[in-house]
Amino acid sequence: MKTNRRKFLLGASAAIGTVAAHAQAKPPTAPSSGARPGNPIAVSTYSYWRYRSDSKLRIEACIELAAEMGFDAVEILEVQMHRKDNAYLQSLKRQAFTAGLDLCGMSTHQGFVSPDADKRRENIEKTIASIELAYKLGIPTMRVNTGRWGTSRSFDDLMKNRGIEPTLPGYTEEDAFPWVIESFEKCLPAAEKCGVLLGLENHWGLGLTPEGVLRIVDAVDSPWLQVTMDTGNFLEDPYARLEKIAPKTVFVQAKTYYGGGVWYELDLDYRRIAAILRKHDYRGYVSLEFEGREDPKTAVPKSLAVLRRAFAAS
């Protein structure tokens, strides 16, 4: 059954009066200098969808909700887009600007963990196309992944195994790192030309550990490939691992799990995470990725309140 956009927006507006008011009751106190009080808080369009078949809101609806709920910016999940023609892209830019929102990031999917050179080439071309899409939208940074082996039957099975996946027969991860490094190197000219900073996420595949992420970023050794930190993707010992990638972090995705996690959930201390990032002088966007089962019209404003408090300037 299709989500009724009007009902969703009306319901979200009503929820703001009761839930988001808590976030606005005690806004961060601006420094006496007038400096910005903390990190700007964005919301990923994924927060309103979460791959649920009956709730794939269009990007323009997500922008409207983000403005109503009081966010500073929107991060676009590329696979959620139903159109990519230039007229549509420019209409999204206009809508965000007039709503006082930045289009601050885009999340994409690619897979370089493959011995098949043709498959890697296809994913390089796909990534370059995404870079050019971000450029047309005026988006300055783009989340990228290593991809994974594809030996799990499904993403659900991968999550049951806590993100760990067997390699293809006859190959090891040592074989895969050069594939991924070379692939990102081939994407860099487009990133530099378009002014789109790539952020390698601590995700699955070779990005499962901080050591894997940093091995790739350090080997590429370019200011155009840094790190997108996802607070919910280190399932064990998260704070020590987040600390390792914090120095190279250029964008943060912050998970919350109201109503219970779709695949798993973590009890994350965002004041502690904010302190880690502040220690490394991170001043950029923190983008909410709500990944719980609660209705987004109540869970997303609650999540915003948590992030506002945690990332307010100390």
- Give residue for tokens 């998970």: 255
- Per the domain annotation, does 201 fall within a domain? yes
Residue 249 has pLDDT above 70, yes or no: yes
Q: Could you tell me the pTM of the whole model?
A: 0.89
CATH code of the domain containing 232: 3.20.20.150
- Per the domain annotation, does 28 fall within a domain? no
pLDDT in tens, 18-56: 444 444 434 455 566 777 779 999 999 999 988 776 678
- Per the domain annotation, does 52 fall within a domain? yes
Whole-number Å distance between alpha carbons of 45 and 207: 23
For residue 244, what are the domain limits? 37-311
- Per the domain annotation, does 249 fall within a domain? yes
pLDDT band at 2 (very low <50, low <70, confident <90, very high): very low
Residue 227 has pLDDT above 90, yes or no: yes
- Per the domain annotation, does 131 fall within a domain? yes
Count of structural domains within the chain: 1
Which amino acid makes up residue 260?
G
- Per the domain annotation, does 204 fall within a domain? yes
Tokens representing 145 are 């992944």
Query: Measured between alpha carbons, how far is residue 45 from residues 62, 87, 195, 223, 281 in Å?
Result: 6, 20, 22, 27, 27
Q: Where is pLDDT greater, at 20 or 235?
A: 235
**Strands annotated E in the chain:** 41-44, 73-77, 102-107, 141-144, 197-201, 225-230, 249-256, 286-290
- Per the domain annotation, does 299 fall within a domain? yes
- Per the domain annotation, does 30 fall within a domain? no
pLDDT in tens, 162-183: 778 889 999 999 999 999 999 9
Q: What residues pair up with 106 in beta bridges, in sequence order?
A: 76, 142
Whole-number Å distance between alpha carbons of 189 and 280: 28
The answer to whether the Cα torsion of 276, 237, 266, 226 is positive or negative is positive
**pLDDT, position 54:** 67
Q: Where is pLDDT greater, at 205 or 182?
A: 182
